[in-house]
Amino acid sequence: MKAVVYTGHGGPEVIRVQEMPAPELGPSDVLVRVRAVALNHLDLWIRRGLPRLKLTFPHIAGADVAGVVERVGSAVASVHEGQEVIIAPGISCGVCAACLAGEDNMCAQYSILGEHRHGGLAEYVAVPEANVLPKPARLTFEEAASVPLVFLTAWNMLVTNARVGFDDTVLVWGAGSGVGSAGLQIAKAFGARVIAVAGAGWKLQRSRELGADEGINHREQNVLDEIRTLTNKRGVDVVFDHVGTATWDTSLRALARGGRLVTCGATSGAEATTDIRYIYGRKLSILGSWMGTKRDLHHALRLVEQGRLRPVVHAVLPLEQTARAQEILERSEHFGKVVLRVE
């Protein structure tokens, strides 16, 4: 099959289009003919190299996949050939205590499609039956591929962990990113007031079109000063942070007493200094989210099917232009998801 691979760790020069062996199909596996793959910053981190991540090259990245079932294993019962599907990107053992409790992202064997195993930047991908879900009929393949990882993560952050509610004010960093645009919508779906932060006026305009109540341009305004003005010095109830070092101190100081900071990433760096007295003195909570559970994705998909949440597609490029697509992410030129179409 044709695939986009990393030949090693490095810059765009390690990206190649080449022939790779088609995936082998186990009894409980489903072979999906890929139609679209949405990129994530995870794809950039894997290409550059992550601590403790040992890959065998050439490696196929790509966590967010939508396509058509090509073939099913002998033990598969809930999926049929020709079905249009999306793939839940988190793969677990299915039988440990965490999995049986519905906390599959806590499984000791948890892996992410395209990171710990070959992903979807190819003509075909094979995954366990439990990871295959029907594609919402209202969505194109490109839109459907833009749902799984970011809506799964944002739902886990805001609903499962931060328990966002109608009386909350939520600060969303990086509102123009895939996970930021998903988080913004989820917070609004639960009735929260949303303050979006982005680095360009056009991104703030798009954020308002998605439902943001207020917008802050972090390149032109002091975010903490603006938060204090917008909340009458009270602060926000929830901070949705996936940026890391560059935003950490402001995120903590932006919180009202009893506020919750929920984080899923560190695109600007992984180390930050925290005054512990500020945490206990204001009764703050710091909540970490690692992907999310299959249950989280099922819940989010219900709202997608109802049209209450919608994936945001910035651009669609052919699979052969993966390097160009990653460049768009690296330069932060996007609002929403950059998607590769697989012909």
Among the candidates 256, 273, 288, a domain finishes at 288
Residue 240 is assigned to a structural domain of this protein: yes
The partner residues of 64 in beta bridges, in order of sequence, read 38
Q: Band the pLDDT of 69: cuts 50, 70, 90.
A: very high
What value does the mean pLDDT take over residues 96-108?
A: 97
The partner residues of 259 in beta bridges, in order of sequence, read none
User: By CB neighbour count within 10 A (0-12 exposed, 13-18 middle, 19+ buried), where does 103 fall?
Assistant: middle
Query: Which residues are within 8 A (CB) of 324 and not within 5 positions of it... i.e. 6 or more apart?
Result: 317
H/E element, 133: strand 132-134
pLDDT tens digit sequence for 106-130? 999 999 999 999 999 999 999 999 9
How many domains does the chain contain in total? 2
What value does the mean pLDDT take over residues 51-80?
A: 96
Residue 93 is assigned to a structural domain of this protein: yes
At 289 the three-state DSSP class reads coil
Query: Which residues are within 8 A (CB) of 2 and not within 5 positions of it... i.e. 6 or more apart?
Result: 17, 18, 19, 20, 122, 123, 319
Residue 297 is assigned to a structural domain of this protein: no
Say whether both 125 and 16 belong to one domain.
yes
Say whether both 184 and 225 belong to one domain.
yes
H/E element, 127: strand 124-128
Q: Which residue has the tokens 């966590």?
A: 63
Q: Band the pLDDT of 177: cuts 50, 70, 90.
A: very high
Q: Which residue has the tokens 């966002």?
A: 164
What value does the mean pLDDT take over residues 220-224?
A: 98
Residue 301 is assigned to a structural domain of this protein: no
Residue 158 is assigned to a structural domain of this protein: yes
pLDDT at 187: 98
Report the first-to-last Cα separation within the chain, whole angstroms: 12
Say whether both 128 and 67 belong to one domain.
yes
Say whether both 23 and 159 belong to one domain.
no
User: What's the farthest any 2 CA atoms get from each other in the chain?
Assistant: 62
Length of the chain: 343
Residue 133 is assigned to a structural domain of this protein: yes
Say whether both 158 and 246 belong to one domain.
yes
Say whether both 103 and 190 belong to one domain.
no
Question: What does the alpha-carbon distance between residue 196 and residue 172 come to, in Å, rounded to a whole number?
Answer: 5
What would the two tokens of residue 112 be?
């992410």
What value does the mean pLDDT of the chain take? Answer: 97
Cβ atoms 197, 173 nearer than 8 A: yes
What value does the mean pLDDT take over residues 257-281?
A: 94
Say whether both 110 and 228 belong to one domain.
no
* 270 closest CA partner among 241, 237, 240: 241
CB atoms within 10 A of CB 19: 10
Say whether both 273 and 182 belong to one domain.
yes
DSSP 101-124: TT-GGG-TT-EEBTTTB--SSBSE
CATH number at residue 185: 3.90.180.10
Q: Band the pLDDT of 250: cuts 50, 70, 90.
A: very high
Residue 296 is assigned to a structural domain of this protein: no
Among the candidates 288, 303, 331, a domain finishes at 288
CA dihedral of 136, 138, 140, 141, whole degrees rounded to 10: 10
What value does the mean pLDDT take over residues 156-174?
A: 98
* 179 closest CA partner among 155, 198, 204: 155
Cβ atoms 35, 342 nearer than 8 A: yes
Cis upstream peptide for 58 (omega within 30°): yes
Say whether both 155 and 60 belong to one domain.
no
Expressed as residue numbers, the domain containing 56 is 2-147+311-341
Say whether both 140 and 164 belong to one domain.
no
**Rg, Å, the chain Cα set:** 20
Say whether both 281 and 317 belong to one domain.
no
What value does the mean pLDDT take over residues 304-332?
A: 97
Say whether both 234 and 321 belong to one domain.
no
H/E element, 125: strand 124-128
How many H helices and E strands in the chain?
11, 17
Q: What percent of the chain has pLDDT over 70?
A: 100
Residue 104 is assigned to a structural domain of this protein: yes
